[in-house]
Structure 1
């Protein structure tokens, strides 16, 4: 799950005590992930005192958290005209430059924000560091370098230590992150996020029981601190993934904690989207479809909602809704479609074209679906891992040509975790698509050559998978390549013989050895009768009643 970037609580200085209190209220709301409440407070501050540049900056950051970039930019730009702390807004605009990969532009803006700092100042360094951390492509090393400057004269400041903890955590330095989070909480024991992050570190180390204990310590201090319930939900999700036998129970527990998190934050469209993301993780597509329909009622124009509805409708079998929703999302101006969008769209088109009995697929629907699937894989090659189960279902339905078309993607993606499995099924699908063809129908030579190549890849990756030798032999028999077929059968018999008498005595193995001898014998019948008789006799040594071998020897003699 992508880490939710949070604009951490920061001590924004103000000359007016009452104004500072309002900013502090907004900061507490942000830390509690009550973003709608924070926006309301900050808009009220700006309306009352438009000269407060810190309020513009803080509000712009909330919009960045919610990925509403247009609004964020407006508040940052307006904040530059404020008479107090206007320069902070350069930092917000700098982060937006980082999001566009304009590092030079960002650094220029950060320089404008920090050029008049006094020796005792350090808050600007924290904000710049967080801009580096919260950018789309986080730069944790730059954040650490900047925070190290802030720590020179302020090493005991809780916010400096919290930011250092986040930077070290992002950079994979778990020990340093632990020390920084611990120092932050010791410096300010009301800073619950720092204590919660100690649990996050334990979760990352797969010490789930210890992580749960750490979260419960936070709840003991403040049972209404919403973010800790989100972390509990994510931890139980991880536990479910690591204990499949108990997945259903742990997923249910996870959703219970996520709903508790929602009740303590807000039910805005943005928080609902976060919940929708979590529903995808726990694979609760019925709830996701219901959530998506609720979001449409709240915001009929947000295209991201149609992604959720499309995913859920695909999983729930509502193909027309899925196609309409995913196409609406993909085709919305300015939208950034991802591989999964095209993958689900393609699979939905195939599902729509499948007959009610599952025994046939409309060729045009299947072709249209493959076009979208290919787009998905071009965007993300490892998307093939989501196709394996689809291919197996088609294989089970004896739709061998269609199964082969699906497995071909994974069979050619060596980095995929399903690479071996996909090659096995790719070879089998191409083989079975040709084995039952009538006498007047020619076999598909290209497909069978692909099957042979797939079985060869399997043997390279897994030499002990002896069935691959057998299927290579069968495939080459269909290709009428007798010399290659004989070699494949010989390899199978040799390999299985190495496993010993107990293995050879198994009925299934015995039948395959007999198949090997009989087919090798038949291949020599017209060219080397002695060799043919030799192989038939090997069959009879195993199965004296084998009629095919007995009759063939009579003819050959």
Structure 2
């Protein structure tokens, strides 16, 4: 789910002006994540008083938070024509510069925003700090420095404390973030977001019980504060992921709390899209497909809907709809394509080319795999989602295709599946070549598999099976010296485990394989050694025909 970007709600001191009251209501709606309501209030203010620069700025921020950049820019530019607080709009334009990685232009705009500040003004510093936090290219350290200027003027400003807490949080300074959030709530005990963020810190520390307790304290203060239910939903979801035994109950709790969150927003298309993001997280694809189709009926313009429909359709087996939906989304040049888009498109193409028995046609696999590789280029950790697919191919004995999938995971040490994928890659390559004539084997792939098992042994030195597969691979490569070396290493490691291990039928079978393979490797260069190893086989398996016949032929 996209990180929710938080706006500054710094209140304008005014006891009587209706305009101030209205803009404060809009800011409260923003904090409650009721964006349509906020936009309606702000547009009313601007219509009544076009010279209100702050209303234009805050409305631009709402659109920017929703990634509607063109509309955001229009309101910032309109705000510059206003007579009241027009300088704030330079901050909005500055954030657009930050998003475009133009820090010099951003700084120039921030300078324009602050050049006429009065000695006790702090709101400009708070908004600039927010711009650095909320940018697509956040700069938390600069945000902290900027917000410290506000706190130097007004140490108990609750919004400045909340903002610097978010900056510390983004900078992974949990201790200072906690203190800032606590101080913000102490300074203003109506600032529920500050108290909620204390629970967010506990959630991210995986203290799920304590996080839920903290969120429930917020609910006790205001049961209608919507964002806290979103945080509860995400907490239950993460708890389910990290402790599978709780998954059934906690995923249901997650869905229940997210529905409560939705009921307290304005059911805008944006909130429905955040709901769709959450349904992806909890893997409720049937609901996602229903929600996506409803959104398309309401708004055929917003292209993100087609992304959601594509994901859900794939998971629900509707591959034609999945391919068309994702391609419809991707073909619009202004749409930001992410790795997951290519991942689902590739998987859908492969599934479309899978016959009733589960066998994937090579042409379909090649087309889908090209998209999967694009996904990994954009999001390297997307490889973590491919393990089950690779194992399904392996189970169907489509070893070459399985190897291609597992090689992606075996190439990323940051993946949680790195070791498992590396092992499966090596095994898949071996089985994909073992039954082929020597001249048809993919020697480059076999050598890469051999090297991959070396990496496995670095990551997991106790994985003795790696030596067995290295022996098999080098035998397939007709490298007698390395065949002998690796099989001998396997036997030595296995023998070291003691008599109990050597008595296991599965172990005996592998040791017999090792002795026979070593004997075969020695047969052309050292007949005495070859016979020695074949005799070792017969000690373990007196009826072994291969060993007996090999001894006879060598004599």
TM-score normalised per structure 1? 0.95
Of the structure 1 ranges 110-119 and 255-264, higher mean CA displacement relative to structure 2 is found in 110-119
Q: In the aligned structure 1, how far is the partner of 2:27 from the partner of 2:381? A: 40
Q: In the aligned structure 2, how far is the partner of 1:184 from the partner of 1:395? A: 55
Partner of 1:553: 551
Q: 1:447 to 1:165 in 2, by over 3 A?
A: closer
Unaligned runs of 5+ in 1: none
Partner of 2:528: 530
Q: In the aligned structure 1, how far is the partner of 2:193 from the partner of 2:379? A: 35
Deviations 1:381-406 (A, max 9, x none): 33322222211110001111111222
Q: 1:182 to 1:458 in 2, by over 3 A?
A: closer
Query: Does residue 541 of the first structure (1) align with residue 539 of the second (2)?
Result: yes
Matches within 5 A, 1:31-430: 31-359=31-359, 361-430=360-429
Is 1:276–1:292's contact at 8 Å kept on the other side of the alignment?
A: yes
Of the structure 1 ranges 515-524 and 69-78, higher mean CA displacement relative to structure 2 is found in 515-524
Partner of 2:466: 468
Aligned length: 555
Of the structure 1 ranges 516-525 and 489-498, higher mean CA displacement relative to structure 2 is found in 516-525
Is 2:438–2:476's contact at 8 Å kept on the other side of the alignment?
A: no
Of the structure 1 ranges 544-553 and 2-11, higher mean CA displacement relative to structure 2 is found in 544-553
Q: In the aligned structure 1, how far is the partner of 2:499 from the partner of 2:438? A: 42
Of the structure 1 ranges 473-482 and 523-532, higher mean CA displacement relative to structure 2 is found in 523-532
Q: In the aligned structure 1, how far is the partner of 2:14 from the partner of 2:90? A: 18
Q: In the aligned structure 2, how far is the partner of 1:210 from the partner of 1:413? A: 34
Q: 1:334 to 1:163 in 2, by over 3 A?
A: same
Deviations 1:344-386 (A, max 9, x none): 1111111111111113x22221111121122222223333222
Q: In the aligned structure 2, how far is the partner of 1:257 from the partner of 1:182? A: 25
Of the structure 1 ranges 467-476 and 291-300, higher mean CA displacement relative to structure 2 is found in 467-476
Partner of 1:499: 497
The SS at the match of 2:290 is helix
Q: In the aligned structure 2, how far is the partner of 1:216 from the partner of 1:263? A: 18
Unaligned runs of 5+ in 2: none
Q: In the aligned structure 1, how far is the partner of 2:551 from the partner of 2:100? A: 78
Matches within 5 A, 1:420-499: 420-437=419-436, 442-499=440-497
Q: In the aligned structure 1, how far is the partner of 2:74 from the partner of 2:520? A: 82
1:196: Cα distance to partner? 1.3
Q: In the aligned structure 2, how far is the partner of 1:107 from the partner of 1:445? A: 57
Q: 1:43 to 1:501 in 2, by over 3 A?
A: same
For residue 508 of structure 2, the aligned residue among 510, 535, 540 is 510
Of the structure 1 ranges 201-210 and 342-351, higher mean CA displacement relative to structure 2 is found in 201-210
Q: 1:202 to 1:458 in 2, by over 3 A?
A: closer
Q: 1:153 to 1:549 in 2, by over 3 A?
A: closer
Q: 1:11 to 1:487 in 2, by over 3 A?
A: same
Deviations 1:250-272 (A, max 9, x none): 11101110110010012111111
Is 1:12–1:54's contact at 8 Å kept on the other side of the alignment?
A: no
1:188: Cα distance to partner? 1.8
The SS at the match of 2:85 is coil
